[in-house]
Amino acid sequence: MADLTSTFVGIKSPNPFWLASAPPTDKEYNVRRAFEAGWGGVVWKTLGSEGPPVVNVNGPRYGAIFGADRRLLGLNNIELITDRPLQTNLREIKAVKRDYPDRAVVVSLMVPCEEDAWKAILPVVEETGADGVELNFGCPHGMAERGMGSAVGQVPEYIEMVTRWCKQNTRMPVIVKLTPNITDIRKPAEAAKRGGADAVSLINTINSITSVDLDAMSPEPMIDGKGTHGGYCGPAVKPIAMNMVAEIARNAETADVPISGIGGITTWRDAAEFMALGAGNVQVCTAAMTYGFKVVQEMISGLSQWMDEKGYESTADFVGKATPNVTDWQYLNLNHVTKAVINQDDCIKCGRCYAACEDTSHQAILMSEDRVFTVDDSECVACNLCVNVCPVENCITMKTLEKGEVDERTGEKVGDYSNWTEHPNNPAVVAAE
C-alpha cells in the first residue's frame, strides 16, 4: 500500500489532507472529530490579537451556487476570523496537539500590520506546541476594511515586511497564505519568499456576489436588506486556484517555495491534481463543510489506490510532476492534430454536440435523418467543445493523427513539432529574418 505520510516544511502528518483555516477548525470539538475521521492536519481558524474578539454578523453568512440536483458548486461567506477569545483558542490548541502528536496543527494568524502585534502573538502560539503558523493575508471581506487580511496580501511590500517580522520572532515554520484577489499571483509569492517564508498556501477566497434578491434588490447573503461581497470557494474556484499554484510552481523565482494547495478540493483526484502541479500538500474547507469530516476517507482511499496503480510509493514521487508540462501558449505544438470521434455505441443521440458545433463552432458534426451524429474531419478543428458538452463520459474522444497522416481540413500532412515562435504568420519571426 502506498505511503501517504507527508512532510510539509518539516511538519509531519499521516496524510497530505489538512483542513484549511475556517469554521471546521474553529474549535477543539471540531478538530478532535476531524482527527478521528482521519484528517492529517488542520490549520486552526485564524486568531486575532489579544483583547475583545471580532464580532460576526448573525447571518445569513453564506450564499451558494448550485449545479444540477442542487449540488453545491460554489460557496460564498462573510465570516470574519475567529470570534472566540484568544486564550480559549490557545488552550484548546494545546490540548489537541498534546492528544494528537502525529497530526499537523498549524495556527493561522491575522493581527494588525505592526511588528509589536506579531511579536506579541507568536510566542503564545509557540507555547501551545503547534507545528507552525500560517499568515492570513487573504481574507477579502471585513478584515480587509481594517487594514488586515487581503489588504496586506495585495501589497507585496507588506507581505515581505510582515513575513520577515515573523521569521525573526519565531522558530516555527511560517506559511504565507495568499489572496487570489490580485492580478499576478507571482508577485505576492515572490514577496513572501523575500521575507523568508517557509511556504505559501493558496488560495484564500475570491471576492464575489453569489446572487441578488430581485424582490429586495439586495445582494445575497442579505443582512437586513443589505449585502456585501463575500469570499468565494468550493469546486467552482478549483481551476482558478490550480492556475495560481502552477504559476508559482513554474516561476523561476518561486519554484523552490513549497506550496500548500487550497481551493475547491473535494475528491482524491482534485488533491492529486493540485499536488501534480506542485503543491506539497492540500487544504480543504468547503468539501468538509458540504459533506462532513468523513469525506476525507474517500480522499485517502482514492489517493492511495491511484498511487498503487501508478507505482508511486510516496507523495513526493508525484508532487510537481505536471509542473514542467505547464508552459506558455507560444510553446504548444501547432502540428499536433486531433479529430473528434463519436462512439456510436455510447451515443444517446441528444444532439448537444451538434448544436454546439453547428451553432457556435466549426460546423463539423453531421446529423442524419435518423439522428446519427458523425464528425466531418474536413471541418473539425478539434476544439473539444463537443466532448465538453456531451453528457456521456468518453462517448466523444479525440483521436491524434500520426505524423505523416493527412489532416483532411488543411489537406496537409502532420509534421514535426513546431510552435508559434517559429510560425511564418508570427510577425516576430518575420521581423527576425
Partner 1 sequence: MPNSQFTPGIASGRLSDTELKENFADLHAPLEAHEALVAADRCYFCHDAPCMTACPSSIDIPLFIRQIATGTPEAAAQTIFDQNILGGMCARVCPTETLCEEVCVRETAEGKPVEIGRLQRYATDTVMESGKHPYTRADATGKKVAVVGAGPAGLSAAHRLAMKGHDVTVYDARKKAGGLNEFGIAAYKSVDSFAEREVEWLLKIGGITLETGKALGKDFTLASLQDEFDAVFLGMGLGGVNALRAEGEDKSGVADAVDFISELRQSNDLSSLSVGRNVVVIGGGMTAVDAAVQSKLLGAQNVTIAYRRDKGAMGASQYEQELATAKGVRILYNAAPKKVIGNGAVEGVEFEYTTTEGGKLKGTGETVTLEADQVFKAIGQTLSGAPEELAMDGGKIAVSEVGATSVTGIWAGGDCASGGDDLTVTAVAEGRDAAEDIHSYLMGGA
Give the residue with the Cβ less far from partner 1, 306 or 420. 306
Query: CA-to-CA distance for 150 and 136, rounded, in angstroms?
Result: 8
Could you say whether residue 291 binds partner 1 (CB under 8 A)?
A: yes
Which amino acid, residue 106?
V
Local structure of 124: helix, strand or coil:
helix
Q: By CB under 6 A, is residue 285 in contact with ligand FMN?
A: yes
Out of partner 1, ligand FMN, none, what residue 267 binds, judged by CB under 5 to 8 A for its kind, is partner 1
- By CB under 6 A, tell whether 278 contacts ligand FMN: no
Cell numbers standing for residue 405:
497522416
Virtual torsion, Cα 237, 242, 247, 249, nearest 10 deg = 140
Number of shown-chain residues binding partner 1 (CB under 8 A): 19
Compute the distance between CA of residue 180 and CA of residue 138 in angstroms, rounded to an integer: 8
Q: Pick out residues in 263-282 that bind partner 1 (CB under 8 A).
A: 267-269
Helix, strand or coil for residue 210? coil
Site for ligand FMN in 291-330 (CB under 6 A): none
Residue 41 binding partner per list partner 1, ligand FMN, none, with a CB distance cut-off of 5 to 8 Å that depends on partner kind? none
For residue 203, whether the previous peptide bond is cis, meaning omega lies within 30 degrees of 0, is: yes
> Which string of DSSP letters, residue by residue, matches 86-109?
HHHHHHHHHHHHHH-TTSEEEEEE
Should residue 301 be labelled a site residue for partner 1 when binding is judged by CB under 8 A? yes
Nearest in space to 229 (alpha carbons), one of 74, 63, 58, 47: 63
Q: Is 139 a catalytic residue?
A: yes
Exactly one of 88, 168, 305, 325 binds partner 1 (CB under 8 A); that residue is 305
Q: Which three cell numbers stand for residue 258?
A: 513549497
The rounded Cα 120 to chain-centroid distance in angstroms is 32
Name the binder of 265 from ligand FMN, partner 1, none, CB < 5-8 A by kind. Answer: ligand FMN
Smallest gap from Cβ 343 to partner 1, in A, equals: 11
Q: Which residues would be at the binding site for partner 1 (CB under 8 A)?
A: 69, 267-269, 291-292, 294-295, 297-298, 301-302, 305-306, 346, 392-395
User: Where in the sequence numbering do the catalytic residues fall?
Assistant: 139
Q: Which residues would be at the binding site for ligand FMN (CB under 6 A)?
A: 20-23, 45-46, 75, 77, 79, 81, 108, 136, 138-139, 177, 204-205, 231, 233-234, 237, 262-265, 284-287
